[in-house]
Amino acid sequence: MPRSLRIGLSARFLAPRPGATGTLRRTVQYLDPLMANWVMSRDVVALMVPSVDSTGLLHRNNMRLRDYVHELDGLVLQGGADISPTCYGEEPLKPEWAGDRVRDDYELELVNEFIEAGKPVLGVCRGHQLINVALGGTLYQDIPSQVGEQTAHRDRSINDANVHTVRLEPGSGLARLYPGTQTAHVNSLHHQAVRKLGRDLVAEAYSSDDGVIEAIRLPGRNYVVGVQWHPEFHRPDDERLLDPGPLLEEFLAEARRRS
């Protein structure tokens, strides 16, 4: 029997807590179980790709992110903290929007290695934004202050239950995945968003009310796709929200084709 696909998931970072003891004194890298379960729902082995800590016993001359790329069939970029504006040539407009440059550098290297190897990349929420930055694009640091408040892209009072409408771009890859669907409801947990598209990227979905880019794709030989929502939060049997299955199946089909 053919082996199961091996899909790498980028690590989420939990910063040290002031006054903490034990493990929480250091940066913790972890995998969101909802994301892992979504990826593994199709007979897939999900593996977290850790960053290499230059202060630890393992150094980059022992193990490189490139070594993981050769062993894996595809990459999923998880959600998480803001991307540092310094990654795209800006300074944070507020200190709390400074992001995590350590995680940014790790994931930017990871994305570039997978693209160079011709292996598929799927970015979710922060991962969608990171793909855009990796290809030279920029972000809105804060949607309410830089775009407007026509759509509530984040509502901390209801977290992942916050939902809005997106419009699928006619003729796009995303529209082909969902034939007959012009608009759909998705969850929304972000205050930053794609501003200027990166090299060769095309937008495949927009927020219906304010035009914020909600999905991107890199046309051509590489499969690189990003969505601003969290498909792993959408239940397949919830008819109110966009079915997460076709997106995952397209990504895995590309991974299988190239493995």
Tens digit of each residue's pLDDT (9 = 90 or more) over 163-221: 999 999 999 999 999 999 999 999 999 999 999 999 999 999 999 999 999 999 999 98
The catalytically annotated residue of 232, 234, 250, 254 is 232
Q: Which residue has the tokens 């892992």?
A: 36
Give domain 5-258's CATH superfamily: Class I glutamine amidotransferase (GATase) domain (3.40.50.880)
125 is catalytic: yes
Instruction: Say yes or no to pLDDT of 59 above 60.
Output: no
| pLDDT for the residue numbered 54 | 56
Phi, psi at 240, each rounded to 5°: -75, -25
Q: What is the mean pLDDT of the chain?
A: 91
194's CB contacts (< 8 A; 6+ apart) are: 128, 129, 132, 137, 139, 140, 203, 212, 213, 216, 228
87 is catalytic: no
* Dihedral angle sign, alpha carbons of residues 168, 171, 174, 178: positive
The catalytically annotated residue of 87, 125, 169, 204 is 125
The catalytically annotated residue of 128, 164, 190, 230 is 230
pLDDT tens, 77-99?
A: 999 999 999 999 999 999 999 99
Phi, psi at 143, each rounded to 5°: -60, -50
